[in-house]
């Protein structure tokens, strides 16, 4: 394929260690390939067929069942889709560690390469043989949602069985898939959230092979945004080391350029996961691997391998950043969870000011919900982890809480995706 480096499937490499300001050195592989059968965990269908097909749902269940029987690992059902499929969360590493990394894979069911990379990472890390990997897991809680949209994956569709885009539902939480992700964010407070996707390239395939984007909603705390940009740089470096070209997702397109801004997803919409996670005080990154363009000259097997290899390279960058910069990340997320003063915004993006009338220069101290309004959204507020003070007349939702930047986006009538209009209070 023109402009594309095709590589054979490589095992996930061990984490990077950094000494002082020296460059990261990537260590040896966690597994060396099929000959290491003593690993005793199933290989994915993608691996077994050398990329000839994607891993089936039955193969995923077998792999995760074996992982669940591995000491120190756990696989739990955190939701059920409209068609009755399980949403499963894999937990690896030290459950008491202060540093938590969450991987969300396959929100769009027709973007399977991230799912393959996540399944392989789970298998490789469930029984880690490399000392660096064991040290990483001794200090980290790794959470993986390998298939975030199993109904869409079964149908080969971007959407859920109900026709919803999961990655536009992280405010309203109408889908079981988005509710499951929200509960994980609330219950585990991850320090790093990575969302793996694919995008369709356009002829003549000049776009980069790996794109990424950080939280751009202006209610993301500055320390979280800075750390997210550092994560972006490390992921791009890892992808570059693997031979992939890199760039920034979504900022190149928009209505003025004839593009679809919603599809390009370069803005600050709070309902997309990378932005929702940033507003919820997690260092976050969207990763997009190019799928195609395809032509009669393309080998589909080599194309699938390239896509998965690039997702795995991005994960190497995530793990290297987490291992080397955990103190910086934990300081950023801890500071962001301490509410403070300052303006809030109901639109816009970083370096893209909101429209007039959508800046809260002097935010209210709380929003008042009457009984009917509170009854309608109390479940969603609870899933988001928003602190509320119920009373006989409804509830008070204060801004003096860790999710200060989220509250107006949920309850201010001027916010584009608000759940219900609350009454802002100037004095509490």
pLDDT of residue 205: 63
Q: For residue range 254-295, list pLDDT tens digits in order.
A: 444 333 444 446 899 999 999 999 999 999 999 999 998 666
User: pLDDT confidence of 246, banded at 50, 70, 90?
Assistant: very high
Please name the residues in contact with 75: beta carbons below 8 A apart, sequence gap of 6 or more: 64, 65, 67, 68, 88, 89, 90, 91
Region 210-230: mean pLDDT is 97
pLDDT of residue 97: 96
Task: Name the DSSP class of 37.
Answer: G
Q: Go through the domains of the chain in sequence order and give each one's CATH number.
A: 16-336 (3.40.630.10), 344-425 (no CATH)
Q: For residue range 73-122, list pLDDT tens digits in order.
A: 999 999 999 999 999 999 999 999 999 999 999 999 999 999 999 999 99
111 catalytic residue (yes or no): no
User: pLDDT confidence of 203, banded at 50, 70, 90?
Assistant: low
Q: What is the 3-state secondary structure (H, E, C) of 154-218?
A: HHCCCCCCCCCCHHHCCCCCCCHHHHHHHHHHHHHCCCEEEEEEEEECCCCCCCCCEEEECCCCC
pLDDT of residue 356: 87
Which residues in 245-269 are b (16+ Cβ under 10 Å) and which e? bbbebbbebeeeeeeeeeebbbbbb
Phi and psi (nearest 5°) for 233? Answer: -65, -40
Q: Which of 111, 177, 223, 288 is catalytic?
A: 288
Q: For residue range 319-365, list pLDDT tens digits in order.
A: 999 999 999 999 999 999 999 899 999 999 988 889 889 999 999 99
Region 225-229: mean pLDDT is 98
| Helix runs in 31-143, H state only | 45-48, 57-68, 113-126, 131-138
pLDDT of residue 109: 98
- The yes-or-no verdict on residue 8 having pLDDT over 80 is no
pLDDT of residue 266: 83
405 token code pair: 């930047």
pLDDT of residue 428: 87
Region 368-377: mean pLDDT is 98
pTM of whole model > 0.85?
yes
Cα–Cα separations (whole angstroms), residue 256 to 4, 76, 354: 29, 45, 17
- Tell me how far the alpha carbon of residue 323 is from its chain's centroid: 18
pLDDT of residue 351: 81
pLDDT of residue 217: 97
- The yes-or-no verdict on residue 37 having pLDDT over 60 is no
- The yes-or-no verdict on residue 314 having pLDDT over 90 is yes
Region 209-225: mean pLDDT is 97
Region 388-396: mean pLDDT is 95
Percent of the chain with pLDDT over 90: 80
- The yes-or-no verdict on residue 136 having pLDDT over 90 is yes
Q: For residue range 155-187, list pLDDT tens digits in order.
A: 999 999 999 999 999 999 999 999 999 999 999
Q: How far apart are CA 306 and CA 198, in angstroms?
A: 12
Region 145-149: mean pLDDT is 98
Closest CA to 52 of 311, 297, 300, 292: 300
- The yes-or-no verdict on residue 150 having pLDDT over 70 is yes
User: pLDDT confidence of 206, banded at 50, 70, 90?
Assistant: confident
Q: How far apart are CA 141 and CA 391, in angstroms?
A: 37
């Amino acid at each position: 394929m023109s402009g594309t480096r095709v590589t054979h499937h490589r095992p996930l490499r061990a984490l990077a260690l950094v000494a002082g300001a020296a460059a990261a050195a990537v260590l040896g592989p966690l597994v060396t390939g099929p000959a290491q059968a003593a690993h005793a965990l199933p290989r994915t269908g993608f691996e077994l067929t050398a990329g000839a097909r994607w891993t089936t749902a039955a193969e995923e269940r077998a792999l995760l069942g074996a992982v669940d029987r591995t000491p120190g690992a756990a696989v739990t059902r955190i939701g059920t889709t409209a068609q009755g499929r399980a949403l499963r969360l894999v937990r690896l590493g030290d459950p008491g560690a202060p540093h938590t990394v969450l991987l969300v894979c396959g929100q769009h069911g027709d973007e399977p390469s991230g799912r393959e990379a996540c399944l392989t990472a789970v298998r490789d890390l469930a029984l880690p043989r490399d000392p660096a990997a064991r040290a990483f897991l001794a200090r980290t809680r790794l959470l993986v949602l390998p298939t975030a949209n199993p109904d869409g994956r079964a149908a080969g569709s971007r959407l859920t069985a109900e026709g919803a885009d999961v990655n536009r539902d992280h405010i309203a939480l109408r889908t079981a898939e988005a509710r499951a992700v929200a509960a994980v964010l609330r219950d585990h407070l991850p320090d790093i959230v990575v969302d793996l996707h694919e995008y369709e390239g356009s002829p003549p395939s000049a776009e980069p092979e790996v794109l990424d984007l950080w939280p751009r909603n202006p209610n993301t705390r500055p320390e979280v945004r800075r750390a997210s940009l550092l994560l972006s740089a490390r992921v791009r470096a890892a992808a570059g080391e693997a031979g992939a070209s890199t760039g920034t997702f979504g900022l190149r397109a928009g209505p003025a350029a004839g593009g679809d801004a919603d599809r390009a997803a370069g803005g600050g919409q709070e309902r997309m996961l990378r932005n929702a996670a940033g507003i919820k005080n997690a260092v976050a990154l969207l990763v997009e691997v190019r799928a195609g363009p395809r032509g009669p000259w393309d080998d589909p097997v080599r194309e699938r391998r390239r896509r998965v290899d690039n997702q795995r390279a991005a994960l190497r960058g995530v793990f290297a950043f987490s291992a080397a910069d955990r103190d910086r990340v934990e300081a950023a997320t801890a500071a962001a969870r301490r509410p403070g003063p300052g303006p809030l915004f109901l639109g816009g993006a970083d370096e893209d000011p909101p429209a007039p009338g959508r800046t809260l220069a002097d935010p209210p101290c709380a929003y008042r919900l009457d009984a009917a309004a509170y009854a309608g959204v109390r479940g969603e507020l609870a899933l988001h982890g928003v602190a509320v003070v119920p009373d006989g007349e409804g509830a008070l939702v204060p801004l003096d809480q860790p999710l200060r930047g989220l509250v107006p986006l949920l309850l201010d009538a001027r916010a584009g995706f608000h759940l219900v209009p609350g009454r802002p209070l100037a004095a509490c």
